Amino acid sequence: MQAKIFISVSIAFIFLALSAPISADLGNMDKAEAQAKTKFDHIGLAEMYEKEANEMNTKVEEQRKLLQEYEEHSEYYGREGQDFHSHHEALLRKYMKAVERNKEMAASHRKMAGKNK
C-alpha cells in the first residue's frame, strides 16, 4: 500500500515538474528578435537559442532515462504504467522538436550575424 502511494506521489511530482513552461523568456525572445539589427544582437540571440537547446537536451536525456527505467521495470508501474509510458514518450517527442527548432533558430541567427558584417 505504501509503495503504491509512493509511486503515485512520485509520478504526480514528475508531472508537475515537467509541466512547467519550457522557457520563461519566450515572450522576450519575440521582442528581442524584432529589435535585432546588429551582428552582436544576432549572435546574442543565437547563444540564447543554443542555451535553450542544451536545456532541452538535458530534458530529453531525463525522459530517455525514465523510459528506460520503465522498460526495464514495467511490472512496478501496474495499470498506470501505460499512461506513464505514453506520457513520457510524448514529452520526449516534444523536447526533441524543441531542441531541433532551437538549433535551427540559432543557425539562422548565426547566418544573419555573418551577413551583418
* pLDDT single digits (tens) 51-103: 999 999 999 999 999 999 998 998 888 888 888 899 999 999 999 999 999 99
Q: What is the model's pLDDT at position 18?
A: 60
Q: What is the DSSP letter of 75?
A: G
* pLDDT single digits (tens) 5-34: 767 666 666 665 665 554 445 566 666 666
How far is it, in rounded angstroms, from Cα 110 to Cα 91? 28
Q: What is the model's pLDDT at position 38?
A: 80
Cβ atoms of residues 56 and 97 within 8 Å? no
Distant-in-sequence, close-in-space partners of 83: CB < 8 Å, separation ≥ 6: none
